[in-house]
Amino acid sequence: MAAPPPSSPSPPAAAAAAATQQTQPQPQTPFYELVKGNSGLEKVLLRGTRGFSAEVYLYGAQVTSWKNDHAEELLFVSSKAIFKPPKAIRGGIPICFPQFGTHGNLEQHGFARNRLWTIDDNPPPLPVNPAIKSFVDLILRPSDEDLKIWPHSFEFRLRVALGPNGDLSLTSRIRNTNTDGRSFSYTFAYHTYFSVSDISEVRVEGLETMDYLDNLKGKERFTEQGDAIVFESEIDKVYLAAPSKIAIIDHEKKRTFVLTKEGLPDAVVWNPWDKKAKAMQDFGDGEYKHMLCVEPAAVEKPITLKPGEEWKGRLALSAVPSSYCSGQLDPLKEHLIALNI
């Protein structure tokens, strides 16, 4: 790994990356800094134009900060988060892999979120928006210990990129590198914790009328009724075959988060509310009021990869002023807008 020394800007990786750039247009000057974060864990700082920024810990490849051009934090990280392995960091965007939740025999949400990832200075080419100047590529390969609990060889590459308008995107590429001919299956989620002003004033659009599995009712299947989703109590639902765009509308902040997902059919919505909040060691008692998890995911139908196959799953986040109009996510309406009708 040719990572830059702490606190120094990283020039693009050398010759090999240059060769990559010849075959496919890549941003000219990828730029990040590697610095020490909480408990001495290393984190990558991404700086965009107009003051946009993001931070990614190598521990878990976890995004822990995403700020807009007013230096306002858009993600929630608990004031009680523990930055010490093996505990996963409470907040930001943990990566759940190779298992989401308790959908399997591994530890809850899999092990990728509590492993140390490394910077990948020479990732295979990835089609990108040439306007993106600030990004980092991280990689996780299983250790011998990991192979004992999940006996599959893989390469998990994550690119975190900050767009020119402050949009944050996460692109995961997972490849089966088994040499014994075996396929593997996994479930996955970008466990995104959004910072909200007051959970009672927030609504989520795009999931109404969807079927969901209710984790609070033994994963039983129901159909969401009525209008946008609002919050009055604990929620832990896996919405199935959710649309590619979901909006979180925060009235008080006059802000709307728009999530765009690719390769990730489902979307988990979670807020622990007061009782569960109190039971969590790394979460403040009243913090449930100021966070909401909406997690693009692949849960209901595990993804299966044969040796040599690669899967891609992408999440793009933008935060826009809430002049955003309700109903905009109606797929038919979107289609008509696209056709200029």
Ligand X SMILES: O=P(O)(O)OC[C@H]1O[C@@H](O)[C@H](O)[C@@H](O)[C@@H]1O
Where do contacts with ligand X occur on this chain (CB under 6 A)?
88, 101, 108-109, 191, 215, 236, 268, 270, 295
Whether cis (ω within 30° of 0) applies to the bond prior to 98 is yes
Give ∠ CA 175-177-181 in degrees, rounded to 5.
120
- What is the closest distance, in whole angstroms, from the C-beta atom of residue 41 to ligand X in the complex? 18
- What is the closest distance, in whole angstroms, from the C-beta atom of residue 157 to ligand X in the complex? 23
Give 37 or 101: the residue with its C-beta nearer to ligand X: 101
In angstroms, rounded to a whole number, what is the distance separating the alpha carbons of residues 251 and 197? 8
- What is the closest distance, in whole angstroms, from the C-beta atom of residue 121 to ligand X in the complex? 30
In angstroms, rounded to a whole number, what is the distance separating the alpha carbons of residues 255 and 322? 5
Q: Report whether 254 contacts 322 (CB < 8 A).
A: yes
- What is the closest distance, in whole angstroms, from the C-beta atom of residue 43 to ligand X in the complex? 19
Give 8 or 108: the residue with its C-beta nearer to ligand X: 108
Give 116 or 280: the residue with its C-beta nearer to ligand X: 280
Q: Report whether 54 contacts 158 (CB < 8 A).
A: no
Q: Of the residues 55, 287, 295, 300, which is catalytic?
A: 295
The answer to whether the annotation marks 108 as part of a ligand binding site is: yes
The answer to whether the annotation marks 113 as part of a ligand binding site is: yes
DSSP secondary structure letter of residue 101:
T
Count of Cβ atoms closer than 10 Å to residue 181 Cβ = 7
214: its two tokens: 């209710």
In angstroms, rounded to a whole number, what is the distance separating the alpha carbons of residues 114 and 245? 29
In angstroms, rounded to a whole number, what is the distance separating the alpha carbons of residues 237 and 217? 9
Give 120 or 236: the residue with its C-beta nearer to ligand X: 236
Q: What is the DSSP string of 155-199?
A: EEEEEEEE-TTS-EEEEEEEEE--SSS--EEEEEEE--EEE-S-G
DSSP secondary structure letter of residue 218:
T
Instruction: Clarify whether 252 is annotated catalytic.
Output: no
In angstroms, rounded to a whole number, what is the distance separating the alpha carbons of residues 179 and 191? 31
Instruction: Clarify whether 335 is annotated catalytic.
Output: no
Give 169 or 271: the residue with its C-beta nearer to ligand X: 271
In angstroms, rounded to a whole number, what is the distance separating the alpha carbons of residues 214 and 300? 12
Q: What CA–CA distances, in Å, run from 130 to 21, 29, 169, 185, 261?
A: 11, 10, 14, 33, 20
Q: Of the residues 152, 191, 287, 300, which is catalytic?
A: 191
| Radius of gyration of the CA atoms of the chain, in A | 20
Give 26 or 187: the residue with its C-beta nearer to ligand X: 187
Whether cis (ω within 30° of 0) applies to the bond prior to 86 is yes
- What is the closest distance, in whole angstroms, from the C-beta atom of residue 270 to ligand X in the complex? 4
The answer to whether the annotation marks 47 as part of a ligand binding site is: no
- What is the closest distance, in whole angstroms, from the C-beta atom of residue 101 to ligand X in the complex? 5
Binding residues: 90, 108, 113
Tell me which residues are annotated as active site. Answer: 191, 295
Residue numbers in the known binding site for substrate are 90, 108, 113
